[in-house]
Amino acid sequence: MTFTRDFWAVLSCCAMMTLSRCHADRLLPPTDLSYKWLDLLTVNVSWSWQRPIDLPEKCEIQYELRLVEKEERKEGHRCPKRTFLKNVADSCLTKQSNSDHWTYSIHTLGHNCDGWNSSTNVTITVKCPEGRADLVKNFKCVLEPSGMNCSWIPVHPSHELKLSHRVCGSSEKLRKSFKECDRPYSTGMRNGCYLNVTVGENNICIVANSKIGWSIIEPLLVIPSSKLSIREDNHHLNLTWMPPEVGKYCSWKYNFCYTQCNGPEQCLLSSSTHRMPYDENCLYKFRSRVLNGTHCPGMNSDWSEFVSYGVNKPPDGTLTVAVIVIPIILCVCVILSCYCFRRHSDIICPNTPDPSAIFKEMVMNGNKEHKTTAESLYTPVPEVVEPCKITLVSATSALQQNF
């Protein structure tokens, strides 16, 4: 009797303990993690998970996948990912030449689970398929209306390279849409080909293959630089750029730099038109480039060639001559003629009075008027003439003196 009572007491205690534990428990993390490459761009990570019998019926289980490394992701790929399924086909790709592996951390989440907390994290390290190699350098694609004109410097020029491309993503439809690059060409150091894609609407993923290995290419997208037209309008210049033929949906910005009269270069950011004051005496030199607008990140053009407008006119000379040079010449002439006149006054006009002397006289003597004008005038000082004495010496006496 006591035995059964004690037994029930212990049993109900255990049951209560279990119940109370359940309400403060953690969900279990996923188990049996594995992965499989579906193509060079897409990995399928899968796992299993056993639903506990005491989990409330309404409790919904989700799994969250995060990337552990703080590696740069290709734009447009969302991570972390949440899923109700027990697998994820992911193409969160690390950039070219980064490490050949990465690690996901996965945990279980519950909704409406009456106090069941999310699980601890489990990790899985994904290794890239064998044979990753650096095959190209300086991979660049010029966006043209007909597609992308891509070119690169091959790392191993003796090995033929095959490029394939598709819109990035992990769905089966996308994985089956790989296309080869066509119309291959070669110019100097660079090789190239054309990608027949509508530019910009989706991310394009490119894979290069050769005997040496494979690599995923992150192209640098370049748009052709836009033509600048310059119009003069009421002491102003109107600058207008033709929008690029590609990316009609992008709102582009124009970065332009100019010099005025060989001055220092100034740079500004503009929309497709810009109005600026214009100095008609100056030569202007412009260069510009297109920058990615709000909807087209990372799409820029190279700098354009220089475009000139106007001419450098020399500073207006006639005014300087009139204001400075003519008065100087006149002064010099007057001084010289005065000097000449004074010097040869006896010839030109013998009795010309010395004007400075007259002036001095007036100042010094004030209103005294008893001095005669004759005294104040120039009186030549009589020259002292030594009287000559001529002595006649007879030739004989001179001869006598000598002998």
Ligand X SMILES: *[C@@H]1O[C@H](CO)[C@@H](O)[C@H](O)[C@H]1NC(C)=O
Per CB under 6 A, the segment of 211-219, 286-294, 341-349, 374-382 that binds ligand X is 286-294
Judge contact between 199 and 149, C-beta under 8 A.
no
Interface pattern 62-101 for ligand X (x via CB under 6 A): ----x--------------------x-x------------
Judge contact between 119 and 110, C-beta under 8 A.
no
HSE value, Cβ hemisphere, 13 Å, CA-based, for 82: 7
- Residue 188 in tokens: 């100097």
Residue placing its CB nearer to ligand X in the complex, 87 or 259:
87
Residue placing its CB nearer to ligand X in the complex, 90 or 361:
90
What gap in Å lies between CA 306 and CA 287, rounded to an integer? 5
What gap in Å lies between CA 397 and CA 391, rounded to an integer? 13
Report the residue from 103, 117, 125, 308 that binds ligand X according to the rule CB under 6 A. 117
Residue placing its CB nearer to ligand X in the complex, 89 or 163:
89
**Exposure string over 161-199, b if 16+ CB within 10 A, otherwise e:** bebbbbbbbbeeebbeeeeebeeeeeeeebbbbbbebeb
Interface pattern 124-153 for ligand X (x via CB under 6 A): ------------------x-x----x-x--
The DSSP letter of residue 53 is T
What gap in Å lies between CA 33 and CA 26, rounded to an integer? 19
What gap in Å lies between CA 6 and CA 10, rounded to an integer? 6
For 122, phi then psi, to 5°, come to -120, 150
Contacts (CB under 6 A) with ligand X, residues 346-385: none
What gap in Å lies between CA 235 and CA 215, rounded to an integer? 56
Per CB under 6 A, the segment of 153-161, 210-218, 292-300, 371-379 that binds ligand X is 292-300
Judge contact between 225 and 302, C-beta under 8 A.
yes
- 277 touches ligand X by CB under 6 A: no
Report the residue from 13, 16, 26, 83 that binds ligand X according to the rule CB under 6 A. 26
- 120 touches ligand X by CB under 6 A: yes
Residue placing its CB nearer to ligand X in the complex, 142 or 205:
142
Residue placing its CB nearer to ligand X in the complex, 216 or 237:
237
List contacts with ligand X (CB under 6 A): 24, 26, 38, 44, 46, 66, 87, 89, 105, 107, 117, 120-121, 142, 144, 149, 151, 182, 187, 192, 196, 231, 233, 238, 253, 275, 291-294, 297-298
